Chains A and B, each alone.
Chain A
């Protein structure tokens, strides 16, 4: 359940950040004060949310795989694990339709795991580049150092701007793949509605049964 909340916050904050970011870049009448206020607020919210989510991964349990009622500490299924070994090429082949059957694996496939690991890093980069552009923090020693590193405030702005497009592309892919193979993942993530399915054994690395959720 905690991850459902952090997911909702991520979604809301990201959407607001993208909309207000566009309003700051392409200003329309009246919007500026509100857009900037919301942008800074949501930027801080999403960063804190990201921190909380990462810390919770080490304390909160979640299902290690679809279709099971077991739970393990979340970081175990979030970080690369035994299940993911050698499966990278299989996933690429699956998504490019070269491979017909679904690669075996735990909750998160290889591309999925890579992107979920990159997102916190991207949030961190966006947060830092945002701070470097925000007047109250821009003149701090750390931000000045960062600005020097990338070649000034204009370059930092372009990086921050490009970062947003990376988020947009991620959201496209994420929404597409999360909904492509049925609505169960969406219901789980937004409503915490669990679903049944084949039971994958994360220790034996094979499917050992099926939970039909009849109880």
Chain B
């Protein structure tokens, strides 16, 4: 918990939690100079100037700018945008040099807390912590030092005061009247609704929060879904930013926050101006930031040249794997998964799945409008090129079924061909029927005018054949005559 405290100064009225380590730490960090607001619950902590904070933690200006550059890249900007990012962090509402910080509630839904874990492991020395301390994290199931009644009270007060951002992690389980998740006597669904209703925005962090994630995969007994579906269900218009991933890359969350700061998104959020929020964050029609989710893993993959050259790894432990060839035949979902993992990378930009030798398993696949389009449902088995399909609870491989049906069809056609031969139809087909079957049964509404038919009547047939031959002879003569005329 000490580490968590260092990351996020849990924050609420100090007298309420005077025995709490977080409050002690806040005082140690110099956050004790909070303005006293008598009789009014306090929901924001205040900041000190950024350069001082950096210096106090031994962060050089250089490493801070490096961090800002990485954030800029994560946000889909060029590295040269680093000074702008640094400036935004220093000048912004969230990164206020002094004064109130933007309150954030980090709420766990049906989650494994993996996104929080990932976030807590962000390693960029101290700068990450500094940025975290630039928001006022008033509630976090996992990271807050406090617990129980006092923490719930901090959340309640933050909601009452308004103008906060909710980071929601995990799915929302609607099954069993939403009772599959209960926290502090309240269902997960109600907690989200209550927090989202008065929020400036909800950041749905991780694939579960976007559309239920793996919980929504077949058979989805808990009827899991994502934040935007729940908000729509309850008619809440609070803007949602979707950041899928399992877990979501912590720097993506950072970059969204920075984008809010850089381009005046905070004002738009506070004003409740949804179109402005969408344009500021560059969201696509699934409310995902285009800079992060605009291209596929494949588009920016470091092994892409091997793909184009047709150099593939066909099995783990092979020579090809040693050579770092493309993992496509091992079921890499990079070509259809949209995320900039290959650019942002993981663990302080050290490596990422594909560099580490694992095919992409498509954890960022999450359509907020369709819980069925979740990454586990559409991407399993992970090491096969295509998904399993199922009818009811019977699973099958697409290739096996399609190829099977095709082979059966081929065999049936072969048998049919023998049948055609046996029936003597191979030489010009069977003889024509004299009268259509339907016509024979319905003579008054017959299609064919059988009085003209020559079938089955050798005399009429011979006459018709001669007639046609004559017609053509005549036509030919006319044509020849015409040609001669022209020749003259």
Contact = CB atoms under 8 A, between A and B. Distances in A.
Interface stretch (B136-144, B198-206, B251-259, B385-393): B385-393
A161 B468 contact: no
Nearest to B386: A158
B434 to A, nearest CB: 8
A104 B309 contact: no
28 contacts: A25-B385, A27-B312, A33-B308, A85-B447, A95-B416, A101-B434, A104-B436, A148-B369, A148-B370, A155-B373, A157-B336, A162-B398, A172-B410, A172-B413, A181-B426, A181-B428, A182-B429, A198-B432, A198-B455, A204-B449, A205-B449, A208-B453, A208-B454, A209-B468, A210-B454, A210-B461, A214-B469, A215-B476
Contacts of B413: 172-173, 176
Given A169-B406, A199-B464, A212-B469, 18 more contacts: A86-B439, A90-B433, A97-B419, A101-B430, A101-B431, A101-B432, A103-B432, A148-B367, A148-B370, A161-B386, A165-B406, A172-B413, A173-B409, A181-B426, A182-B427, A205-B447, A205-B448, A214-B469
B296 interface: yes
B438 interface: yes
A210 B425 contact: no
B403 interface: yes
Contact of A33 (B294, B310, B438): B310
Given A101-B430, A154-B387, A135 B468 contact: no
B485 interface: no
Contacts of A162: 398, 402
A82 interface: yes
A104 B472 contact: no
A215 B429 contact: no
Contacts of B447: 82-83, 85-86, 205
B236 interface: no
B141 to A, nearest CB: 31
B309 A33 contact: yes
B92 interface: no
B285 interface: yes
A26 B468 CA distance: 57
B309 to A, nearest CB: 7
A139 interface: yes
A136 B107 CA distance: 38
Closest 10 CB pairs of A and B: A209-B464, A86-B438, A181-B429, A153-B336, A206-B453, A154-B378, A32-B310, A30-B310, A152-B373, A205-B448
B352 interface: no
B452 interface: yes
A188 interface: no
A159 to B, nearest CB: 10
A32 B453 contact: no
Interface string A59-99: 00000000001000000000000110111011000110101
Contact of A94 (B329, B336, B430): B430
Contacts of A139: 294
A207 interface: yes
B453 to A, nearest CB: 4
B430 A90 contact: no
Contacts of B333: 154
Contacts of B399: 161
A53 B310 CA distance: 36
B437 interface: yes
Interface of B: 285, 294, 296, 298-299, 307-312, 328-329, 333, 336, 362, 365, 367, 369-370, 372-373, 378-379, 385-387, 389, 398-399, 402-403, 405-406, 409-410, 413, 416-417, 419-420, 423, 425-439, 447-450, 452-455, 461, 464-465, 467-469, 472-473, 476
A181 B423 CA distance: 11
B386 A28 contact: no
Nearest to B410: A172
Contacts of A52: none
Contacts of A29: 310-312
Given A82-B447, A182-B428, A209-B468, A90 B436 contact: yes
Nearest to B420: A180
Contact of B453 (A97, A103, A181, A207): A207
Contacts of B430: 94, 100-102
Given A86-B438, A155-B378, A182-B428, A135 B296 contact: yes
Contacts of A97: 419, 423
B370 A207 contact: no
Given A172-B413, A204-B449, A180 B432 contact: no
Contact of B437 (A27, A30, A90, A144): A90
A208 to B, nearest CB: 5
A10 to B, nearest CB: 19
Interface in A190-215: 198-199, 201, 204-212, 214-215
Contact of A158 (B372, B398, B406, B409): B398
Nearest to A87: B436
Given A83-B447, A180-B426, A32 B307 contact: yes
Nearest to B311: A29
A87 B373 CA distance: 44
Nearest to A69: B472
Contacts of B464: 199, 208-210
Nearest to B441: A86
A165 B309 CA distance: 27
A118 to B, nearest CB: 15
A25 B385 CA distance: 8
Contacts of B425: 180-181
Contacts of B427: 181-182
B312 to A, nearest CB: 5
B409 A172 contact: yes
Contacts of B452: 201, 204, 206, 208
A168 interface: yes
